[in-house]
Amino acid sequence: MTLKSKLPKVGTTIFSQMSQLAAQHQAINLSQGFPDFSPDPLLLDALAAYSQQGFNQYAPMPGIPALQTQIASLVQRCYQRTVNAEQEVTVTSGATEALFVAINAVVQPGDEVIVFDPAYDSYEPAINLCGGKAVHIALTAPGYRINWQQVAEAITLRTRLILVNSPHNPTGMVFTPQDWISLQQLVLKHNLYCISDEVYEHMVFDGAPQLSANCFADLAARSFIVSSFGKTFHVTGWKLGYCVAPAALSAEFRKIHQYVTFSSFTPAQHAVADMLAQQPQQVSGLARFYQHKRDHFVNVLHASRFTLLPCQGSYFLLADYSAISDLDDVSFCQWLTKEHKVAAIPLSVFYQTPLTARIVRFCFAKQDSTLNAAAEALCRI
Ligand code: PMP
Ligand code: GLN
């Protein structure tokens, strides 16, 4: 029996492939983005306590009220926007679910969605499953800035949605205030919707302002803003995220969310709500924490033959290896993993059009000892 594939071009994600290769070759895994250190013990204790106290059944479909309220407070604290916790905040099973549901809420067959390459890998399959078409705009090294004039020219009568991601995975690019303003203008002018993937929102470096679609009222009025506690609290395996959207958009979002997962892991919702209420410095200190990691990693790679690209946010650093090898980036990552025992992610897999640049992504959400060991190996090449 052969089933006609709805995603004929999709294989196993690069993250699974590279993590598997890293494990197979006992390489230091700087490929898939996840921390190799423990989350705060208070968070783990809270998770255990809530589970032991009996909070083990279905949470309310949109999330437990305590967490919705804490998310609304977080949005107020970070972006001075007042959102209605009950109607405008929906807790999801990771940002991945929120993105999938938001895309399904908006995209009709034949609709076009503007995405920027390198694009996070979950966007396009979700768009295609709705019968939509991703229109790719390629961003290029070293800055990966968006040319908004080019975006304006890519908009057609079929364009329904623009999908943005700042801080950006995999490039570390962060939107300037002008980027947000340009985005808002286009969304309003062409009556579009926006999905703003802000999973790295609390990791903006060098004193740059932490901005969000939440900061721009007219944009926020047409946006699904998505974030992830997996990133913020170093628990990617908990798969807990959320979507902030105006009530009418949230109502459509919830129609789908209730049939995708219905609700998300109950004890984790309680534990994260407590952390947000009682340990707000965990969130406000995240940028400093990861800026230190970035600086440390850049420092220890100084003697290597890689050329490091600027990183303004997120926990990823791009490195150009053209002084080291002529291999294409996929082959280079395989070679690096097998021969030098460090795994990275090739950039070309995030582009629709073939990419000739020789650039790979390293994740620096790692203990300093891991970064040191990786750098030692990378500096020997
Ligand atoms: N968007 C981006 C840009 C990401 O890097 C990730 C992370 N892995 C996600 C969404 C998905 O987040 P989650 O793990 O919460 O599903
Ligand atoms: N977001 C993570 C990354 O970019 C991976 C998530 C996944 O494995 N699907 O590395």
What is 151-203 written as a DSSP string?
A: HHHH--TTEEEEEEESSPTTT-----HHHHHHHHHHHHHTT-EEEEE-TTTT-
pLDDT tens digits, residue range 194-207? Answer: 999 999 999 999 99
Query: From ligand 2's centre to the CA of 178, what distance in Å?
Result: 28
Q: Which helix (H) or strand (E) holds 109?
A: none
The model's pLDDT over 177-196, given as tens digits with 9 standing for 90+, comes to 999 999 999 999 999 999 99
Lowest average pLDDT, out of 1-10, 33-42, 46-55, goes to 1-10
Closest residue by Cα to atom 8, ligand 2, is: 15
Which ligand has the shortest distance to the CA of 344? Answer: 2
Nearest ligand 1 atom to the CA of 229 is 15
Q: What is the pLDDT of residue 307?
A: 98
Domain boundaries, the chain: 14-32+285-379, 57-279
Ligand 2 contact via 169 beta carbon (within 6 Å): yes
Q: How far apart are CA 95 and CA 316, in angstroms?
A: 18
H-helix or E-strand spanning residue 76: helix 65-79
How close is the Cα of 162 to the center of ligand 2, in Å?
21
Q: Is the CB of 198 under 6 A from ligand 1?
A: no
Q: Is 120 in the pocket of ligand 1 (CB under 6 A)?
A: yes
Model confidence at 13, in pLDDT bands (50, 70, 90)? Answer: very high
**33 C-beta closer than 6 A to ligand 2:** yes
Distance 357 CA to ligand 2 centre (A): 22
Closest CA to 170 of 371, 357, 323, 378: 357
- Out of 3.40.640.10, 3.40.50.10300, 3.90.650.10, 3.40.50.300, select the CATH number for domain 57-279: 3.40.640.10
Mean pLDDT of 237-249: 98
The rounded distance, in Å, linking the Cα atoms of 145 and 283 is 27
- Say whether pLDDT at 17 is over 90: yes
Residue 1 has pLDDT above 90, yes or no: no
Statement: residue 45 has pLDDT above 90: yes
User: Reduced to 3 states, what is the DSSP secondary structure of residue 319?
Assistant: strand
3-state DSSP assignment of residue 270: helix
Q: What mean pLDDT comes out for the span 232-261?
A: 98
Cβ atoms 319, 362 nearer than 8 A? yes
Q: Which bound ligand lies closest to the C-alpha atom of 196? A: 1
Domains 14-32+285-379 and 57-279 share a fold: no
* 58-112 tens-digit pLDDT: 999 999 999 999 999 999 999 999 999 999 999 999 999 999 999 999 999 999 9
- pLDDT per residue over 109-136, tens digit each? 999 999 999 999 999 999 999 999 999 9
From the DSSP assignment, how many helices (H) and strands (E) are in the chain? Answer: 16, 13
Is ligand 1 within 6 A of the CB of residue 33? yes
The fold of the 14-32+285-379 domain, in CATH, is Aspartate Aminotransferase, domain 1 (3.90.1150)
Q: Write the pLDDT tens digit of every residue in 362-375.
A: 999 999 999 999 99
Residues 6+ apart with CB under 8 A from 133: 110, 111, 112, 113, 127, 158
Q: How far is the CA of 91 from the centre of ligand 1 (A)?
A: 14
CB of 241 sitting under 6 A from ligand 1 = yes
CA of 32 to the centre of ligand 2 (A): 5
223 lines ligand 1 (CB under 6 A): no
Residue nearest to atom 9 of ligand 2 (CA): 15
pLDDT at 134: 98
Q: Please work out whether the CB of residue 232 comes within 6 Å of at least one atom of ligand 1.
A: no
**Residue in the block written with tokens 């999938």:** 100
pLDDT digits (tens, 9 = 90+) for 310-357: 999 999 999 999 999 999 999 999 999 999 999 999 999 999 998 889
Q: Return the structure tokens found at 284.
A: 């406000």
